[in-house]
Structure formats: C-alpha cells, structure tokens
Amino acid sequence: MAVANLASAALDRQRLERTATQLAAEREADRLKSTLVSSVSHELKTPLAAAIARVTGLLGETEDYDPERLREEMSSIAEELSRLDSAIGDLLDVSRLESDSWRPVTDLYEMSEILGSVASKLTSQQGERVRFLIPQAVPFIEADFSQLVRALENVIENALTYSPVDQPVEVRVSSDEEHVTVAVEDRGPGVPDAEKTRVFEKFYRGTTSAAVPAGTGLGLAIAREIVNSHGGRIWVEDSAPRGARFMVELPVAVIGAESE
C-alpha cells in the first residue's frame, strides 16, 4: 500500500511538473508573440508612414519642383522603403527559422566570393566605411551562398549601425587547417560582458541600442542560426581601444572525401 501511494505521488508530481513546464512554454510563446507584434507595428509602420508623408507632400505642392530638393526627397523615400524592406526580410527569415524550413543547400565557395556579394549589397555610403581585408590563399568552405551572405550582411550592418560614421568597420578574414574565420570589427560603444550572449537572442536590443535607430532585434539572431546550421559558431568580443569584434568561424570544406 505504501509503495502504491509513493508511486501515485510520483506520478502526480510528474504531471504537475509537465503542466508547469507547458504553462511556462505558453507564457514565453505569448511574450514572444507580443514582442513580435510590437516590433512589426513599429518597424513596418514607421518607415511606411514616413515615405507616405514625403510622397503626399510632394504631390501637394503646386509650384514647380526644385530638382535638388526633389532628389533629396526621393533619396529619403528610398531609404525609408529600404528600411521597410529590411524589416520585412527579417520577419520572413525568422518565420522560416521558427518553422525549421531553412535548411542550407551547400556548395563549395571561397570566402572572397561571399563577401564580394555582401559588398555589392552595401550602399555607396556604407561601402566607403567598410574595409575588407582578405588574404589571397583562403581554404574553401561548404556553404549555402545566399544564407551565408545574409548572415554576414546582418553582422556588418550591425557594426555599421553602432560605429560612428567617421570610423571604419574592418572585415578581416583569417584561416587555419580547420576553420575560416571572419572578424567584423567596429569602433562603437562595444557590448557589455553581461550582454555578449544575449545580443544573439531574438528581439533583444542591448543597453546601447537607445542611441541608434530602432530595429527588429532579429539580425544577429538570424546570423547565429545560419552560422550554426553551417556547423560554425559566432560570438562577440571586445576590440581595442574600443568597440566590438564579431567573430564568425566556419569549418574548412573537406574536398574529395568519400561519403560513407
């Protein structure tokens, strides 16, 4: 009888633990949904509203347009729409990650090819600030080209966002027999030790984010998932004399290996 009571109590305890775990998971899911809705409403509405306001202002003018002012207004509209497109891209990417539908389709590439594509996506102003330092002899990596471009683009754009506009962002490639490493170094405020892991969480915006334009808080989380899916790792460390250095380490491709 005593054994039966103990077994019954153990089962009850297990049921309670499962219920508590399920409730905690549901609360976390609700929190993430609430955060997502807040992020969507701000990051999609704000640039859209700004672009609409500028277009409406131009349409409401009755006098002839000044070519220089028109060019400035159209440039601002393009920037707002680019910001909108980026936010939509982040949300679509994270939805793919959540549904586990983002599996890399890989081939052999040189890191110079991948970073060349990243460089082509930068604006002219961004391109002037980024220095790519790539040695001639770098081993091949096995990668999904578009995914890895997306990951490194997110890391570099993050560095550009937090670095002063008069300071360069350096993208340095190094390698050994086992890994190819990309270091993205900025001269911004850096990342506090307590946040060095959290900056890769979905929707997380650190203590220094108040001084920069709003974002979805998804870019680094997406980069981490892509890098992890390629068998690599990503982390952030301090840069001297100031700033942050984001490290992306990927395994060297094994060429000519026989499949088992």
Mapping DSSP to helix (H, G, I), strand (E, B) and coil, where does residue 78 land? helix
Percent of the chain with pLDDT over 70: 76
Q: What is the per-residue pLDDT for 258?
A: 45
Instruction: Between 49 and 187, name the one with better pLDDT.
Output: 187
Check whether 24 has a pLDDT greater than 80: no
Among left, alpha and beta (phi > 0; psi -120 to 50; other), residue 100 is: left
Check whether 225 has a pLDDT greater than 80: yes
Residue spans of beta strands (DSSP E) within the chain: 107-109, 130-133, 141-143, 169-175, 179-185, 233-238, 244-251
Structural domains in the chain plus CATH codes: 2-98 (1.10.287.130), 107-251 (3.30.565.10)
Average confidence (pLDDT) over 31-54: 64
Q: What is the per-residue pLDDT for 31?
A: 55
Check whether 43 has a pLDDT greater than 70: no
Check whether 259 has a pLDDT greater than 50: no
**Angstrom distance (rounded) from CA 42 to CA 11:** 47
Average confidence (pLDDT) over 202-213: 68
Most confident of 75-79, 94-98, 123-127: 123-127
pLDDT category of residue 260 using cuts at 50, 70 and 90? very low
Most confident of 139-153, 201-215, 216-230: 139-153
Mean pLDDT score of the chain: 81
**Angstrom distance (rounded) from CA 81 to CA 75:** 10
Asked whether 150 and 90 are in contact (CB, 8 A), the reply is no
Check whether 257 has a pLDDT greater than 60: no
Q: What is the per-residue pLDDT for 12?
A: 66
Amino acid at 70: L
Asked whether 78 and 71 are in contact (CB, 8 A), the reply is no
Check whether 242 has a pLDDT greater than 80: yes
CA angle 228, 246, 161 (to 5 degrees): 115
- Structural tokens at position 46: 């704000």
pLDDT category of residue 70 using cuts at 50, 70 and 90? confident
| Close Cβ partners of 260 (under 8 Å, ≥ 6 residues apart) | none
- Structural tokens at position 161: 């966002």
Instruction: Between 134 and 84, name the one with better pLDDT.
Output: 134
Q: What is the per-residue pLDDT for 40?
A: 57
Task: Quote the DSSP letter at residue 256.
Answer: T
Out of 1-15, 98-112, 173-187, 195-209, which region has the weakest mean confidence (pLDDT)?
Answer: 1-15
Among left, alpha and beta (phi > 0; psi -120 to 50; other), residue 115 is: alpha
Q: Is the dihedral of CA 34, 35, 36, 37 positive or negative?
A: positive
Out of 74-88, 119-133, 148-162, 208-222, which region has the weakest mean confidence (pLDDT)?
Answer: 208-222
CA 113 to the chain's CA centroid: 20
Instruction: Between 186 and 80, name the one with better pLDDT.
Output: 186
Asked whether 54 and 73 are in contact (CB, 8 A), the reply is yes
pLDDT category of residue 223 using cuts at 50, 70 and 90? very high
Q: What is the per-residue pLDDT for 99?
A: 66
pTM above 0.85, yes or no: no
**Angstrom distance (rounded) from CA 242 to CA 231:** 30
pLDDT category of residue 34 using cuts at 50, 70 and 90? low
